[in-house]
Structures are given as structure tokens and as C-alpha cells.
Structure 1
Amino acid sequence: MLVLKCSMKLQMLEKMLRWSFPESLKVYGAVMNINRGNPFRNEVVVDSWPDFKAVITRPQKEVDGCGFFIFVSKRSTACGVKSLACCLEQPALLGQQRRSWHRTWTIPSWHFLPNTLSVLSLRMDPKLKLACLDISHASLLSKTWSRGGNPRSQKYLANLICCFPSVCVLDDNGYPLSWSLTDQFSTMIHGYTLPEHRRKGYSRLVATTLAKKLHSCGFPAQG
């Protein structure tokens, strides 16, 4: 397994992964963010270069992170996939020791195409407005997240807010009523609307606005 550190190779990989949409979307999103400043300090591992059959994105050794995404090329044989799976059960082979990993295989997910994004004409209360989330909103997001409610989740959400695009509906006091974030894999996540404000079209408005924002930055919108 090889860790890709060369910026030119990483840019080449980004272009090559586009040919394998939608299966490669999450790994592609991670590589895009690595090529654009790498705010979450991830790295890329391939089985070979340039004729790779598997791509793994993961946190760097010194980063306190968990979870990684894997893209397996259609050119991989069943034997090759089995061999890769065996490697993943031995973190030392991936250069990661004494770490508990959450393994997630990339599967096709929905994504917007630029010419299919509809323009929503939602009549909102004039007191409400569309805006980006602020780091001060991280506490609320953590409380409403099923895995949240602890300092680590709040820090994670605050980092997402600071590093990646987000959209929310704010009331006249600047309090979020509905929102969605983007993570380090360029995935639209944490979509949520407060119970008392549901069935008003806010979620659709937020999701569509965020998808358009991602496309304007060159990212595929996925979730």
C-alpha cells in the first residue's frame, strides 16, 4: 500500500475518480478537500500507482480521527477485494497502529447534477433568512444529533462549520430553525429541522441551496 503525498499525483487521482461516479463520490470528495488545503488532515492510500484498484482515505497518523472510506475499482477481482479486506483487519499494514477504525465501504449515493437543481420559490416569513451556520450554533447541532451531546461531537461539528459550506434558516433572533452541513468527504449531512418548524419546506430549501453552493465550488452534491 502506498501513501500518495505528491500534489500532482493527488490532482491526477481527483480527475481519475470522476470516471467512477457514483461509486467513488465519497473518496473523490475527500481527495478534493485534501487538494484544497486539507483542513481535516486526511491522507490517501492506494494499492498501486497509477494503475490502482483500491483507494483509501483516512486521517493522518498524528490526527485524533476515526473512520475511513474505501473505493474499489470495478477492475478489482474478487481475490483482490478479499486481499484488501484482510489488510484492513491489520492496521499496521496501513501504517496505523493502536487505533480502532470504523470501516465504511463507499456505495452509490444520490447526487445532484447541475442542470437538475430546481429553483424553489418558497414563501418564507420575511423575518426569516437563509444564511451560513456559525460556530456558535455547534452546541445546538450537537444536542439535536443522535450521536451528539458531548464535547467531542460539538468540537467535530464546530470544525465542519468552520471548514466547509453550510446553509440554515434563521429566525429574527438569529436562531437556526433548519440546517444542513458538509463533511470532509463533501457529503451533505446533519440535515435537521426543529420539530415545531417542520412541514414548511425548510429542509428542501436548505438542501437545494447547499447543493447549489457545492456545485458553484466545483464539488458534487451528495448525501
Structure 2
Amino acid sequence: MLVLNCSTKLLILEKMLKSHFPESLKVFGAVMNINRGNPFQKEVVLDSWPDFKAVITRRRKEAETDNLDHYTNAYAVFYKDALAYRQLIEDHDVINWDQVFQIQGLQNELYDASKAVADPKQLTTKLTSFMAVHFSPVSSPPDTHFLTESPPRLTYLSVADADLLNRTWSRGGNEQCLRYIANLISCFPSVCVRDDKGNPVSWALTDQFATMCHGYTLPDHRRKGYSRLVALTLARKLQSRGFPSQGNVLDDNKASISLLNSVGAEFLPCRFHRLILTPAAFSGLTQ
């Protein structure tokens, strides 16, 4: 195991990961954030350098953690060899197996390789698989002709909005998610439409892997074109900073799939896999 701390080597790694798109997108996004101030206190672990076969981004060990917070306790994975990845996580110092955590990646062997190491340690492994998408370049501000009402107030999210986002996110509704969303809002780009009273009615934010997430419009404000405006504006904001504008969508989310098709988003050939791993001691305590 090797922790890559050298800023020069991290910039080299960022460039190397580009040649492995789209499978390396999650790790690439995390490494980009590390190289641009590291607001989420991440670090990179590899099996070797520079000819690595497996690379993982993780939370720094000195960072404050909550053992039930799988949102923050998240690892992104890319490997050239699934066996090398499995051997890397078998090293006890790479992953904290004593807390609830998640693993994210865009490679099909990720679940089997992770589960093979987790099972003997008596952790349950829950897999959710998504379609992975990438937004085409957005070279100019989105046209607002498609809006059904007068142009709205377009701005960004505030930490004060975290409670609303926690209550409306299908993955949320708990203390850990509330804290995680507040951290995302503080650290990364977001976009939202506000009503006349200043309340958010439609929004999207960016996670620790530079992924566009939690795109949502309140029911009373749907079919007005807000979701399209928010998605394109956030994609353009990320692209202007050099980030890939990537996202994920569940196969049965017809509304989001229709929106993505309408804006010309590319559905990638690989799928996004999110694994949530729970030690036996915490079984039944998490969502």
C-alpha cells in the first residue's frame, strides 16, 4: 500500500486517470478535488507508483468521522486488475472495516471483489446500480425560452437549505445525511431556483466525487422547465472549472431519463455501482 501525498504526483495521476475514462471518472473527480484545495479531506491510496493497478480515494484518517455516516465515509475505486484491487483492500490499513461506509466505482467486478473481502469480516454489502451519464459541453448560458413562467431567480444553495434537501432526498432523512449535505453545499458548486420568498424550489448539487447529485424540484413547481435549467447551469459551472459534468440515474426514473435525453446527455457504456457496507455491530441502525 502506498499513500500518494506528493502534489506533483497527484497532478500526474489526474492526467493518467483521464486516459481511462469513463471507468475512472469517480476517482478522477475525487483527485481533482484533492488537487484543488482538498475541501473534503481526502487522500489517495495505490498498490504501486507510477505503474499502479488499483487506486482508491478515501477520507484522511485524521479527519473527524461518524461510524454511522456512510455518506462521508466513502471510497472511490478504479483498477486495471480486479485482483489487484482485492489484494489492496485486504490490507487492513486501506479501509476502516469497523464503520459503515460505501464504495463507489464504474466497473462490473467491483461488487464481487469487495464482497469477497467483506464477507469474512461479517459485513453486509448492499449494491445499488445506476446508469452513468455525462453532459455534453454547455458553451453558453442555458436558453430560458422553454420556461413556462417568467425567468426565475437562479442562484446557489445555502447551508440553511440543507434541512429541506435532507427531507426531500430519497437517500436522506437522517442526521448523517443532513450534515453531509451541509458539507457538500459548503464545499462544492450547486445551483437552485428560488421563489419570490427566497425559498428553494428546484436544485442540484455536486458531491465529493465531482458528481452532479440530488437533482430535485418540489412537486408544486414541476413542469415549468426548472429541472432542465438547473441541470444545464450546474453542468456548465462544473465544465468552466475543468471538471467532468457527470451524473447517475436509476433505470426506473423515467422523468430524469427523459430530461437527460432532452438535453443531449450521453449515457455511458459502464454503470455506476454504489456499495454500502455495514458491520454486524451496526446492522439495523442505518438506512
Residue 84 of structure 1 is matched in structure 2 by 85
1:171 CA drift (Å): 0.5
Task: Measure, in 1, the Cα distance between the counterparts of 2:31 and 2:151.
Answer: 39
Task: Measure, in 2, the Cα distance between the counterparts of 1:7 and 1:199.
Answer: 46
Give the conservation status (yes or no) of the 8 Å contact 2:23–2:105: no
Residue deviations 1:166-190 (CA, integer Å, cap 9, x gap): 0011101111111000011000001
Match of 2:177 among 153, 156, 161: 153
Residue 56 of structure 1 is matched in structure 2 by 56
Within a 5 Å distance, the mapping from 1:115-130 to structure 2 comes to 119-121=142-144, 122-123=146-147, 125-126=149-150, 128-130=152-154
Look up the equivalent residue of 1:10 and give its one-letter code.
Answer: L
The DSSP-based 3-state class of the residue aligned with 1:109 is strand
Task: Measure, in 1, the Cα distance between the counterparts of 2:209 and 2:193.
Answer: 23
Within a 5 Å distance, the mapping from 1:166-205 to structure 2 comes to 166-205=190-229
Task: Measure, in 2, the Cα distance between the counterparts of 1:131 and 1:125.
Answer: 17
Structure 2: state its 5+ residue gaps: 66-71, 108-130, 248-287
2:139 is the alignment partner of 1:109? no
Task: Measure, in 1, the Cα distance between the counterparts of 2:103 and 2:206.
Answer: 20
Structure 1: state its 5+ residue gaps: none
Question: So what's the TM-score if we normalise by structure 1?
Answer: 0.88
Residue 75 of structure 2 is matched in structure 1 by 68
Question: So what's the TM-score if we normalise by structure 2?
Answer: 0.70
1:117 CA drift (Å): 7.5
Task: Measure, in 2, the Cα distance between the counterparts of 1:200 and 1:218.
Answer: 30
Q: Are the structure 2 counterparts of residues 215 and 146 from structure 1 closer, same or farther at C-alpha, using a change threshold of 3 Å?
A: same
Indicate the structure with greater strand content.
2
Match of 1:217 among 238, 241, 251: 241
1:127 CA drift (Å): 7.0
Residue deviations 1:9-65 (CA, integer Å, cap 9, x gap): 001001111111111111100000001111110111111100111111111113314
Q: Are the structure 2 counterparts of residues 127 and 113 from structure 1 closer, same or farther at C-alpha, using a change threshold of 3 Å?
A: closer
Task: Measure, in 2, the Cα distance between the counterparts of 1:28 and 1:187.
Answer: 11
Give the conservation status (yes or no) of the 8 Å contact 1:87–1:93: no
CA RMSD of aligned residues (A): 2.1
Give aligned-pair identity as a percent.
55
Look up the equivalent residue of 1:35 and give its one-letter code.
Answer: N
1:120 CA drift (Å): 2.7
Look up the equivalent residue of 1:49 and give its one-letter code.
Answer: W
Match of 1:164 among 188, 193, 197: 188
Q: Are the structure 2 counterparts of residues 195 and 84 from structure 1 closer, same or farther at C-alpha, using a change threshold of 3 Å?
A: same
Q: May I ask how many residue pairs the two structures share in their alignment?
A: 216
Structure of higher RCO (CA pairs closer than 8 Å, 6+ residues apart): 2
Match of 1:144 among 148, 161, 168: 168
Residue deviations 1:87-143 (CA, integer Å, cap 9, x gap): 43x461416463343223324832123268883333364473111011111110011
Residue 46 of structure 1 is matched in structure 2 by 46
